[in-house]
Amino acid sequence: MVISSLNIKLIEDRLGIIVSAVTKLKRLSRLSKEEFLQNDRPAVAESYLRRALEAIFDIGRHILAKTAGRGIVEYKEIARELGKTGVVSRGCADRLVLMAGYRNRLVHFCHKVEDEELFGIVNENLSDMESFVREIKDFILEYRKIGGEDKEGPTEDPWLPVQMQKTSDMHCHL
């Protein structure tokens, strides 16, 4: 049930943040572990990862507030509710719960995040973010089909880069 119109522009802007961060993280994933651990690369990875996670939950919070009339602020609850309401698949929602926990760790326990751990995430878990982007794109297309209005007016649609469309799903270990 649509309570009020989605701000598609806001969602697309946040999706752009995710796509940009994942693209930069993929560049870091091409490095050997030794190269990754040099200089400030782990801090760079942490920053892009945190930005992408914040954008994911900003999107979820907005969609739930506008379509389900629920103002949820707790990240794991946002993830669960996105799955319950069918905005994303249950599998994606389960991975989002794990991402929410990791986001909280990055923000509140950053002193406990190890560089090697970031290397593993950059090399094993970016596909989870790519899956989220694809599922939100599908949600937006369905929203438009059923007559959902865009609070900011029509925008161009293909905003999903080719590299994001060609990735395979992997299980999340966050």
How confident is the model over 133-163, as pLDDT tens digits?
999 999 999 888 887 655 554 444 333 333 3
Separation CA 152–CA 163 (nearest Å): 27
Instruction: Pull the structure tokens for residue 100.
Output: 């929410």
Whether pTM > 0.75 for this model: the answer is: yes
What's the fold here for domain 8-151? Four Helix Bundle (Hemerythrin (Met), subunit A) (1.20.120)
Separation CA 101–CA 34 (nearest Å): 27
63 close to 87: Cβ distance less than 8 angstroms: yes
Residue 155 forms beta bridges with which residues? none
User: Phi and psi (nearest 5°) for 150?
Assistant: -95, 120
Instruction: Give me the pLDDT at residue 155, please.
Output: 43
